[in-house]
Amino acid sequence: MQYRPFGQHGFECSEIGFGAWAIGGAWGPQGDADSLAALHRALDLGCTFIDTAAGYGNGRSERLIGQVLRERTAAGRSEQIFVATKTPPAAGAWPPAPHDRAADRYSEAYLRTNLAERLACLGVDKIDLLQLHTWTRAWNRDPAPFKILRQLQREGQIGLIGVSTPEHDQNSVIDLMRGGWVDSVQVIYNLFEQEPAAELLDVAQECGVGVIVRVAFDEGALTGKFTVLTKFAPDDFRNNYFAGDRLPRTVVRVERIRRDLADTAYSLPQAALKWVLAHPAVATVIPGIRNVAQAEANCAVSDLPAMPAALVEKLRRHNWRRAFWYAGK
Ligand SMILES: NC(=O)c1ccc[n+]([C@@H]2O[C@H](COP(=O)([O-])OP(=O)(O)OC[C@H]3O[C@@H](n4cnc5c(N)ncnc54)[C@H](OP(=O)(O)O)[C@@H]3O)[C@@H](O)[C@H]2O)c1
């Protein structure tokens, strides 16, 4: 495993982090034994960065991570594992509507209560990185929630403060970076969603902000394993994400990428991760991992040679501007 500086924050994180959404739920059947084994295996392979959230199974993902950290401490390991979690806005529209008030969605009382829940679920007395799970540019001119989080940071309950981009308007976090409100950003950046390369990633680098890349596989599609006949379990959120004609449209585009990789040594999942890591602003890419095989396959990508510049450039043609899919058709 290779390591990179996490922005200007004085520590190195593993190039491959552990995306811990599926181990919480909403991705079809998932047994805790598989999740625990996957976490241990990734950490054994040098992964030092885990991303989770309150919303991943209402604390289930966080509790599993807390259990693994305690098991490893009890086993006498002295490794430094960095855990990032997220606080969602109080009940309401997702993403927040443009006329929502920050005081209603991220009030101080709410943030304090939610932080206490995060600490309890992870079983720690300080959160390494607390991210607001989503945002709206409507609050950029008065980012009051981050003033509250800076106060909680001064009180010692939070290490770093971050934001996860709203999928429909990722560039809304650029002003937050320039204003010094966030220490990290979590962003969708993959072979289809290349827009962050236009400005967001460069601004993050200029501002010393740690960049966490999520959804490098486009929710599994860029692993190349889906066909037009692929069916998801009834409780898998991908029934919505790939609703209607989206799956066949995606499969056609993935096959074009596969053809571009035909004379290379890369598999699709390897190329998907290496292409993301080719951008120097990226600190860690956090593929979703739900079993030992995925932990091993994804962690191994870090030690492959860097993707040649000519291939990085060739794959840019797969940029696909397709707007906002998470709300379904
Ligand atoms: N708003 C937000 O802040 C937000 C939103 C989304 C994600 N995230 C974070 O980002 C992480 C990554 O995103 P994601 O999990 O949504 O999507 P992703 O990384 O694009 O896809 C992950 C899925 O791909 C499959 N997979 C993983 N490794 C594989 C491999 N080597 N070969 C074949 N299939 C493989 C697994 O699902 P199957 O085996 O079931 O196919 C896995 O759950 C999340 O876990 C979460 O931590 C944050």
58 with 23: CB under 8 angstroms? Answer: no
Residue nearest to atom 33 of ligand 1 (CA): 223
Q: Which fold, 3-318?
A: TIM Barrel (3.20.20)
pLDDT at residue number 294: 98
Cβ of 324: how many Cβ atoms within 10 Å? Answer: 11
pLDDT at residue number 173: 98
pLDDT at residue number 272: 99
Residue 170 identity (one-letter amino acid) = Q
Cβ of 127: how many Cβ atoms within 10 Å? Answer: 24
Q: Is the dihedral of CA 117, 118, 123, 128 positive or negative?
A: negative
Q: What pLDDT, in 10s, does the model give residues 281-322?
A: 999 999 999 999 999 999 999 999 999 999 999 999 999 988
Out of 132, 223, 241, give the residue to mutate to test ligand 1, the one with the largest number of ligand atoms within 8 Å of its CB.
223
Between CA 235 and CA 228 the distance in angstroms is 19
Residue nearest to atom 10 of ligand 1 (CA): 214
Q: Are strands 49-51 and 82-87 parallel, antiparallel or unpaired?
A: parallel
CB within 8 A of 302, min separation 6: which ones?
A: 1, 2, 14, 15, 16, 46, 277
Residue nearest to atom 24 of ligand 1 (CA): 220
pLDDT at residue number 329: 78
CB within 8 A of 168, min separation 6: which ones?
A: 95, 323, 324
Please state the atom number of ligand 1 nearest to the C-alpha of residue 217. Answer: 20
Length reported for the chain: 329
The tokens describing 131, both together, are: 């991210």
Residue nearest to atom 43 of ligand 1 (CA): 288
pLDDT at residue number 327: 77
| pTM score over 0.75 | yes
Q: What pLDDT, in 10s, does the model give residues 19-61?
A: 999 999 999 999 999 999 999 999 999 999 999 999 999 999 9
* Ligand 1 proximal residues by C-beta, below 6 Å: 19-22, 27, 51, 133, 164, 186, 214-220, 223, 225, 269, 286-290, 294, 297-298
Say how many Å lie between the CA of residue 286 and the centre of ligand 1. 8
Say how many Å lie between the CA of residue 107 and the centre of ligand 1. 30
Q: What residue ranges in the chain does DSSP mark as E strands? A: 3-5, 12-14, 18-19, 49-51, 82-87, 127-132, 158-164, 184-188, 210-214, 282-285
Say how many Å lie between the CA of residue 68 and the centre of ligand 1. 20
What ranges do the domains of the chain cover? Answer: 3-318
Out of 27, 237, 294, give the residue to mutate to test ligand 1, the one with the largest number of ligand atoms within 8 Å of its CB.
294
Compute the half-sphere exposure of residue 69: CA atoms within 13 Å on the CB side of its CA.
17
Say how many Å lie between the CA of residue 219 and the centre of ligand 1. 5
Say how many Å lie between the CA of residue 57 and the centre of ligand 1. 15
Between CA 275 and CA 194 the distance in angstroms is 11
Per-residue pLDDT of the chain (329 residues; tens, 9 = 90+): 999 999 999 999 999 999 999 999 999 999 999 999 999 999 999 999 999 999 999 999 999 999 999 999 999 999 999 999 999 999 999 999 999 999 999 999 999 999 999 999 999 999 999 999 999 999 999 999 999 999 999 999 999 999 999 999 999 999 999 999 999 999 999 999 999 999 999 999 999 999 999 999 999 999 999 999 999 999 999 999 999 999 999 999 999 999 999 999 999 999 999 999 999 999 999 999 999 999 999 999 999 999 999 999 999 999 998 877 887 87
Out of 60, 170, 217, 325, give the residue to mutate to test ligand 1, the one with the largest number of ligand atoms within 8 Å of its CB.
217
